[in-house]
Structure 1
Amino acid sequence: MQIPENKYEVVIIGGGPIGIACALEAEKKKLSYIILEKGCLVNSLYHYPTNMTFFSTSEKLELDNIPFISNNPKPGKREALEYYRRIATSNNINIKLFEKVTSVKTHADKTHTVTTTKGDYSAENVIVATGFYDIPNYLGVPGEDLPKVSHYYNDPHYYATQKTLVVGASNSAVDAALEIYRKGGDVTMIVRKPEIGKRVKYWVRPDIINRIEEGSIKAYFNSNLKEIKENEVVIDTPEGEDILENDFVLLLTGYRPNFGFLQDIGIKLSTDGRKIPQYNEETMETNIPGIFLAGVICGGVETHKWFIENSRIHAKMIMEHLSKKEKEAFN
């Protein structure tokens, strides 16, 4: 069957590992598809810190049983970029990069129009696999918009010899603090809880605890950032307010999915504060027929619930369901 231009059986929003996994499964089921990605291929992964090491081993990051060979059991960012790029190019994945989806409209006949910054696409089914790395969890403190403040961390060299405040105690915050310290930075951590997060990578957590105990990295526990100024920061500690000299602030307090985008589509979110989207756990179909979710976005604010390794299955579940629907309609 010839498919008219810009009309597909499946439009996949998001060109990360799970979006690519959906494309691979669509090809197996001979379903016409396209991936629409607002940035580069695996855009979120590309913006991870330069020296990031995955928590998962390489085989758990594999798609479609395509071997992921890495130098170490736990691969780094560059190896992952190479792996997913090779999959996309060698399989001629149909993907449009640097094309942001701005809206998804559902029509009376249950088809969908996906509008992007470059055009419109007609789809029988839409898969939202947009991840969660786009929107930081803002603190809302005075001075958060100053040029010296960032919600993303890339390379430690930038902060060498500088007084850098790292807010947070998750993997990203701990990695940044350790790397900057080892490149000659003067690092202070602000931790809202009484200790470093339990979910920090097990081979890294002892390192940060030891650096704090020996005084190489300063840390304020049970504390909060109160205000950011040009050359200093104000923090609230159990002992009272403290003012620290400061050059840079890294607010590594986590990220969240674009809930507004989901709601604009019409997808219902839980009202218990977790904002978990409504979907069928067997088919991944949302409350809107023909619109599906895949990957970390399924967890709402619980962004630690779904990873590449345990959400790869979403692609297979969705395509099995669509293939079954197509056969039933044909019969």
Structure 2
Amino acid sequence: MTTEKEVLIIGAGPIGIACALECKKRNIDYIVVEKGTLTNSLYNYPLNMTFFSTSEKLEIDGIPFISNNPKPTRNEALEYYRRVATSNKLHINLYEEITEVEKQVDGSFIVASEKNTFKVNNIIVSTGFYDIPKLLNVPGEDLPKVSHYYKEAHPYVMQKSIVVGASNSSVDAALEIWRKGGDVTMVVRGSSIGERVKYWVKPDIENRIEEGSIKAYFNSEIKKIKKTAIIIDTPEGIKTINNDFVIALTGYRPDFAFLETLGIELSKEGKYFPKYNPDTMETNVPNLYLAGVICGGMETHKWFIENSRVHAKVIAADISDKINISKRCS
């Protein structure tokens, strides 16, 4: 049986939830479909992660986000977005992956998921970018000792861990593992710790490196990963380091293949920017919209919760205008 809706929102992250709230306020019939749990990306963040943004900048639809800390934690964010979704009785299908989207002659879409089939007039893609890690593409990357995600420090206690990268996630992991009793070495492609690292954390990691508590190889890259060691290329030449775990936090990318199956045009100049109208967030495919971080292509730092919350209002307003025009013409 096919369920008919005006709008289908793909992704139940903060921006997907914001889109659902805007649809509800405008009496637009909608459904949110999420392949994982509610706010799946946030759920998979490190357990002790602290946001860069303050809580009021993570709020959606003006619903207050009260935090016990100057910067909210992962657990506080999960609680906030969970409360927003449940208290507003939003229509969200979880653990339901979209398998096929087919554009119809009349401009509508037939969307098949693992559990349902929908016929919708509009689609909002708000899928984020956290599912697909940027790989090192080196021999041994598929060994069990290698992970592209970091959850907590406990597995790395009393072990020799390599942390790859110098972003917020890499720095947080290195510091937490070291403080829990792990032996940490950082391998960084650039010449220093990233400039976007949280300002209250950056001096901490730089001081730990300077005093030798955390070892760091800058302007360096992993060339091969072995069961008990790694081989890295450094300015001083090739080095072999005994090692138990590799935590490669080199970033993530959106699912560009999925966007292309939808017919969305992507620039091929290295950044893979999707084509959309910034005034409406509508893509080159009529009635197909983008919201949130996915709008930035490979520049995953360009859009985040704080500055993409507005996408929900922009998209809902455009869809509402189309509905009103259709009613007047019928």
Common fold by TM > 0.5: yes
Residue 190 of structure 1 aligns with which residue? 187
User: Corresponding residue for 2:121?
Assistant: 124
Q: 1:63 aligns with which of 60, 63, 74?
A: 60
Paired position in structure 1 for 2:289: 292
Work out whether 1:47 is the aligned partner of 2:44. yes
Pick the aligned partner of 1:82 from 79, 84, 89. 79
Tell me the CA shift for residue 117 of structure 1. Answer: 1.1
2:6 alignment partner, one of 2, 5, 9: 9
- Could you tell me how far 1:119 is from its partner in structure 2? 2.0
- TM-score by length of structure 2 reads 0.98
Tell me the distance in 1 between the aligned counterparts of 2:77 and 2:3: 30
**Deviations 1:63-117 (CA, angstroms, capped at 9, x unpaired):** 1110000001210000000000000100000000000112211111100011111
Task: For residue 124 of structure 2, give the secondary structure of its aligned residue in structure 1.
Answer: strand
Residue 159 of structure 2 is aligned to residue 156 of structure 1: no
Distance 2:212 2:124 in 1: 49
Letter in 1 for 2:121: E
Deviation at residue 234 of structure 1 after TM alignment? 0.3
Q: Mark the runs of 5 or more structure 2 residues left unpaired by the alignment.
A: none
> Among 118, 130, 148, which residue is 1:133 paired with?
130
Superposed, which structure 2 residues align to 1:124-273 within 5 Å? 124-273=121-270
Find the aligned partners of 2:11 and 2:100 in 1 and give their Cα distance: 13
TM-score (normalizing by structure 1): 0.98
Superposed displacement of residue 259, structure 1: 0.2
Q: Distance in 2 between matches of 1:159 and 1:59?
A: 34
CA distance in 2, matches of 1:214, 1:155: 24
Distance 1:272 1:234 in 2: 32
1:304 paired residue number: 301
Calculate the aligned-residue CA RMSD, in Å.
0.8
Residue ranges of structure 1 left out of the alignment (5+ in a row): none
2: distance between equivalents of 1:13 and 1:245? 44
Q: In structure 2, how many angstroms separate the alpha carbons of the residues matched to 1:24 and 1:73?
A: 27
Q: Percent identity?
A: 64
Which residue type is aligned with residue 32 of structure 1? D
CA shift digits 1:119-142 (9 cap, x unpaired): 211110000000000000001100
Runs of 4+ in structure 1 over 6 Å off: none
What SS does structure 1 have at the residue aligned with 2:257?
helix
Residues of 2 paired with 1:292 and 1:129: CA distance?
Answer: 9
Cα separation, 1, equivalents of 2:224 and 2:40: 32
Once the two structures are superposed, what CA deviation does each residue of 1:23-57 show, in whole Å capped at 9, x if it has no partner?
00000110000000000000010000000000000
